[in-house]
Structure 1
Amino acid sequence: MAELVSSNKVFGGDLRKYKFKSAALGGLSANFNLFLPSQASTTTKVPLLTYLAGLTCTEDNGAQKGGFFEAAAAKGLAILFPDTSPRGAGVPGEDDDWDFGTGAGFYLNATAPSYAPYYNMQTHVTLELPQIIEAAGLPIDFTRQSIFGHSMGGHGALTLYLASTTKQYRSASAFAPICNPMKCQWGQKAFTGYLQGGIEEAKTLYDATELIKRRNEPVNILIDYGTSDNFYKQGQLLPENFVAAAEGKNVSMRAQEGYDHSYYFISTFAPEHIHFHAKFLCD
């Protein structure tokens, strides 16, 4: 059962922080933030947009710095902000590096024996959190969901959208996503660490560039990245690989001149991403 930790008024709605014991994350305590617009009530359920944050982040980064609430309030959209990994699993080596382990769950379900009991962020985001929110009686319409994210969270948003066999999400968008993780250092490190089958196991499940190749149905995807993003320049993001694989599949890829990887970049284009999702969520 979710316990309310705090609530703050913002743009006429409420930003609420909850905590609960997560079965998907091995019984560890988990936090999430949920923005409920003023349109949400005991008689009116609102659509849900899930935001996935990047490496080293928590459930607070997007809520505090993303700049999403004014547009979401105007459109009547709720926003869910999950954490980025389990906290306190105690797996040997999980805190050795900033880009693996705590704060770096990569939105997958681990199969390597030491990580499998705890690192199940895919299940946590797609199944567990909706169940917890519904059980709490919060006014969310789970038949209308979309997903977006930043960096590692952009990878998560794209892969959870593209891999869903139930079409859980109507649209996906991303800020500076890790588009082809099999071919970058961040992804290779995550996949060889979390997955028993390593990169080969990830190929059909957790790489957006591979997933879009096999997607025959129409997609609704928007991606922004900055041309001055150091991680883009280092070859961690590889948006060109994704857009080449997605040719003719309704993907909007925008290179934003001079922008970097920060939340200054995200907050600049946040309203456009909210409006993009509103087209699919606000019937």
Structure 2
Amino acid sequence: MSFETKATVPSFGGRLLKLSHSSAVIGSPMALNLYLPPQASDANKVPWIFYLAGLTCTGDNGAEKGFFQAAAAQNGVAIVYPDTSPREPRYDGDDEGYDFGRAAGYYINATKAPYSATYKMESYIVEELYTALPKEFPLDPAKVGVMGHSMGGHGALTLYMKHPKKFKSVSAFAPIANPSNCHWGQKAFSGYLGDNADDWKAHDATELVKTFKGKLDVLIDVGTGDAFYKQGQLLPEHLETAAKKAGHEGVKIRFQKDYDHSYYFIATFAADHIEHHVRFLVSQDNLIDF
């Protein structure tokens, strides 16, 4: 597999590459963004972080509005911005609502037809991109983190806990922290996985944290003015309670007064999240605080 560079955008001394490729996992073309900091070169493979975007988004949203590149450039970290779902083939009804189907892949592998044929976003991230990108770009295959927003925050938390040997760091903005108990998650999981709620637990951060073995050091930000938080779509308190009961004191949730669900919120705390990841991906001697 090879990536085609559609555009190169200078950014904070580095390069934002707009890429496309034919995905063997998804079975169709996929697009993504890759930010390479100025330190990246053939002789210097840099740590990298997946940023998983939320509902309705593409790989462009975080790259253009998240404001991660400034801190990433200062600390020599690359950012990968994948898409949020397959874009083809299409299925009947997959664009009837913003919260299911196209742009709403939930970073899981669907088991229910017809979505099971192509909606394999978990394997796309942790197998295909994880393996393929370091072969073509100066990325250190041993230093990988994952973060995300909303649906992508759910993805970051669950992929980290399901694949702890693959990721060295994790953080989330306004994650859907207990999808089995909110409308968004129930709609998506029933459509992708079927109606057996027991099957959903393997893709629910609040359930996964109960049995996770090993140390968790997680940064999570949630805005108290977030309409989706107020509506009970995010449920971060459920994750916080489950983590404490399981003895995971390192699951840190910061409730940010009055902030909403937007990219203004993400951009405000983007540097904090990059710094969090850098502590696990880069030597402490090279850390730049903000």
Coarse TM-score class (shorter-chain normalised): over 0.9
Which residue does the alignment assign to 1:134?
A: 134
Contact 1:110–1:195 (8 Å) recurs in 2? yes
Which residue does 1:222 correspond to in 2? Answer: 219
Q: Which runs of 5+ in 1 are unaligned?
A: none
**3-state SS of 2:146 partner:** strand
Contact 1:191/1:198 (8 A) holds in 2: no
Displacement over 4 Å in runs of 4+: none
Contact 2:170 2:218 in 1 (8 A): yes
TM-score where L is the length of structure 2: 0.94
- Match of residue 47 from structure 1: 47
Instruction: Judge conservation of contact 2:8–2:16 (CA < 8 Å) in 1.
Output: yes
Q: 2:52–2:155: 8 Å Cα contact kept in structure 1?
A: yes
Task: State the Cα distance separating 1:198 from its structure 2 match.
Answer: 4.1
CA contact (8 A) 1:231 1:237 kept: yes
Q: What percent identity do the matched residue pairs reach?
A: 51
What is the one-letter code of the residue matched to 2:191?
Answer: G
Contact 2:36–2:79, Cα closer than 8 Å, also in 1: yes
What's 2:229 paired with? 232
How big is each residue's C-alpha offset from its partner over 1:2-52, in whole Å with a ceiling of 9 and x where there is no partner?
111111110110000110111211x21100100001111111100011100
Shift in Å at residue 197 of structure 1? Answer: 5.5
Structure 1 match to 2:208: 211
Q: Please tell me whether the aligned partners of residues 148 and 175 of structure 2 are also in contact (alpha carbons under 8 angstroms).
A: yes
Describe how 1:69-80 pairs up with structure 2 within 5 A: 69-80=69-80
Match in the other structure for 2:157: 158
Contact 2:55–2:99 (8 Å) recurs in 1: yes
**Distance in 2 between the 1:73 and 1:207 partners?**
33
Contact 1:171 1:219 in 2 (8 A): no
Structure 2, unmatched stretches of 5+, are: 284-290
Map 1:232-271 onto structure 2 (within 5 A).
232-247=229-244, 248-249=247-248, 250-271=250-271
1:199, distance to aligned residue in structure 2 (A) = 2.7
Q: Indicate the structure with greater helix content.
A: 2
The 5 Å alignment of 1:1-283 reads: 1-25=2-26, 27-136=27-136, 138-164=137-163, 167-196=165-194, 198-203=196-201, 205-247=202-244, 248-249=247-248, 250-283=250-283
Q: TM-score, normalised by structure 1?
A: 0.96
Contact 1:149 1:155 in 2 (8 A): yes
